[in-house]
Structure 1
Amino acid sequence: MTFIEEKVEGADFNLGIVTSKVQELEIKNKQMNDELLYIQAQSMRNNLVFGNIEEARAGVDENAEYVLREFLVSKLKMANSLVTEMKFERVHRMGQKNSDKVRPIVAKFNLFKERELVRRSASALKDTPYYLHEQFPKEISDKRRKLVPEMKKARKSGSKAWISYDTLFIDGVPYTKAVDFLTCSWRTITGDARA
C-alpha cells in the first residue's frame, strides 16, 4: 500500500467517525427540541385563548381580566358568582395593538379544573363571532391545524374524531397520514371488527 493510499484510507476512516458523530448530534438535537416543545406546551397547559372580544379603542386603557370576566358571564352564560371566584395568574391581549383587527385575549388560569370548566362551556359560542381554544406552541398549533380537515372528514363519515395535543384520534385509534381511513375498512387499519 502506498503512502497516498494509506492517507486516503485514513481520511475515509476519519470521515466515517465525523459522520457518525454528526448523526448522533442531530438525534440529540431533535430530542432536545422535542423536550423543549413539551415543556413549552406544559407551561401553556392552563391557558385559553379567546377571540373576537371587542377591544378598547386606541388611547383607552383596558383591563383584560375585567373584560374576560364580563365575557364569561354574558357570552358563555356562566354564573357571575362562579366567575368572580375564578383566579387567574395572568390575562392579557396577544400581540401589538392594531386598528385593523381585534387581538385575542390569553388567560392563564390558576386551576386547571376552572380552565376546563370554561373550555367545556365553549358550545355557548356556536353561531357567534366569538371563539375560544387551548393555547399551544406554534409547532403544535400548526400540526393541529393540518389535522382539522381530516377530523372533519371523519366526523362527516360518521366516526367519532378528536385532536389531543398533536394527534388525531378516529374512533379511539390514532390517525396516521399513511392510511386513508375513508378508503380502508377499520379491520384493515386496526385489525378490529369495526368495518
Structure 2
Amino acid sequence: MPPRKQNLSEDDMSTIKDLLEQQQAKYEDLLQRQQSIFQSFIESVMTSTNNRFDNLVREVQELKSSLQFSQHEVDTLKTKLNEANSEITNLKATIDDQAKNPKSLQMPDMEKKMDYLENQSRRNNVVIDGIEDDVKETWADTEVKVRNILTKKLQLDSKTIEIERAHRNGPFRNDSPRPRQVVVKLLRFKDKQMILNRARSNLKNTNIYINEDFSDQVRKRRAELVPKMREARQRGEFAIISYDRLVIRKKTNQEMS
C-alpha cells in the first residue's frame, strides 16, 4: 500500500516559510558581500593599471625628450664635422692646385685659411688666467680646479658642463709671476657662451680672467687694437674687440646710466 499523505499544519507551513526566507536572506547577503569584494578587487586592479600606464606614458615622454635632445646634439656635431671636412677638402684641393702650378702659390691666402681652421678648432675653447698652479698638477687636477671656478665663482652647475680637456699652457716655471694659463676645451658652444657671460659680472675685482681662445695671429691683432679701444672708451664711446675687429659706437642711454 502506498504511504499515506500527511497534511501539514499551518504552523508547519509557517516554519518552513521562515526557514526558506532566512536561507534566502543568507544567500542574498553572501552574494552582496561577494559582489562588494569583487568590485573592490576590480577597482584596485584598475587603479594599479592606470598608475602603471601613467608611469609608462611619463617614461616614454622622458625617453622621447632625451632622444630628441641627443638627436639635436648629434645633428649639431654632424654639421660641424661636415663643415670641417668641407674646409679640409677645399684646402687639399688648393694645395694640389698650387703644387701643380708653384707660380700661382699665394702664401697670404694659405695662411688665412690655416688660421681660420685653427680658430675653428678653438671655437668651443676658453682660456682661464689666475688659477693657482702646481708643478705636479695633472690634467685631472686641472679639470677639478676649473670646475671649482665654475661652481664657486660663476655660480654654475658644473656637472651639466661637459669638458673634453683642461690643460696648462707650457711647462711649469717657478720664476713665473703668474700661473700658467688653462685652456678648457668644451663639448658645447653654448656652454662657452654661458661661461663668458657669467664671467663678465662674477669675476669683477678678482685675479681670475676668462676669455675666448684664439690663434696667435688673432691674439696679436687683438693686442694691436687694445690701445684704440681704450682711446674710444676714454672718449665715452662704447668699444669692444670682436674676434679681430674693433667695434666702436655711441653708448645707449641704458649703458650710460
Query: TM-score normalized by structure 1?
Result: 0.69
Structure 2 Cα separation of the partners of residues 110 and 92 of structure 1 = 15
Task: Pick closer, same or farther for the CA change 1:95–1:74 going to 2, 3 Å.
Answer: same
Question: Is 1:130 equivalent to 2:205 in the alignment?
Answer: no
Unaligned runs of 5+ in 2: 1-101, 251-257
Unaligned runs of 5+ in 1: 1-20, 173-195
Task: Give the letter for the 2:162 counterpart.
Answer: K
Structure 2 Cα separation of the partners of residues 169 and 71 of structure 1 = 30
Question: Is 1:107 equivalent to 2:184 in the alignment?
Answer: yes
Match of 1:11 in 2: none
Task: Pick closer, same or farther for the CA change 1:145–1:29 going to 2, 3 Å.
Answer: same
1:53 aligned residue (131, 147, 168): 131
Q: How many residues align?
A: 145
Matched residue SS, 1:163:
strand
Structure 1 Cα separation of the partners of residues 137 and 129 of structure 2 = 20
CA RMSD of aligned residues (A): 1.8
Higher relative contact order (CA 8 A, sep 6+): 1
Question: Is 1:92 equivalent to 2:188 in the alignment?
Answer: no
**Cα distance per residue 1:103-134 (max 9 Å; x no partner):** 11110110000001001112211111111111
Task: Give the letter for the 1:88 counterpart.
Answer: I
Counterparts of 1:71-90 in structure 2, within 5 Å, are 71-76=149-154, 78-79=155-156, 82-90=157-165
- Between Structure 1 and Structure 2, which shows a larger proportion of helix residues? 2
Structure 2 Cα separation of the partners of residues 129 and 34 of structure 1 = 34
Structure 1 residue 70, shift from structure 2 partner: 0.4
Structure 1 residue 86, shift from structure 2 partner: 0.5
Structure 1 residue 152, shift from structure 2 partner: 1.3
Query: TM-score normalized by structure 2?
Result: 0.53
Matched residue SS, 2:170:
coil
Structure 2 Cα separation of the partners of residues 136 and 39 of structure 1 = 11
Matched residue SS, 1:169:
strand
Matched residue SS, 1:151:
helix
Structure 2 Cα separation of the partners of residues 130 and 88 of structure 1 = 19
Match of 1:116 in 2: 193
Matched residue SS, 1:48:
strand
Structure 1 residue 60, shift from structure 2 partner: 5.5
Structure 2 Cα separation of the partners of residues 128 and 100 of structure 1 = 22
Structure 1 Cα separation of the partners of residues 114 and 180 of structure 2 = 27
> Percent identity among equivalent residues?
34
Matched residue SS, 2:172:
coil
Task: Pick closer, same or farther for the CA change 1:38–1:60 going to 2, 3 Å.
Answer: closer
Structure 1 residue 59, shift from structure 2 partner: 3.8
Match of 1:9 in 2: none
Task: Give the letter for the 1:83 counterpart.
Answer: S
1:146 aligned residue (199, 224, 246): 224
Structure 1 Cα separation of the partners of residues 115 and 136 of structure 2 = 37
1:35 aligned residue (113, 129, 144): 113
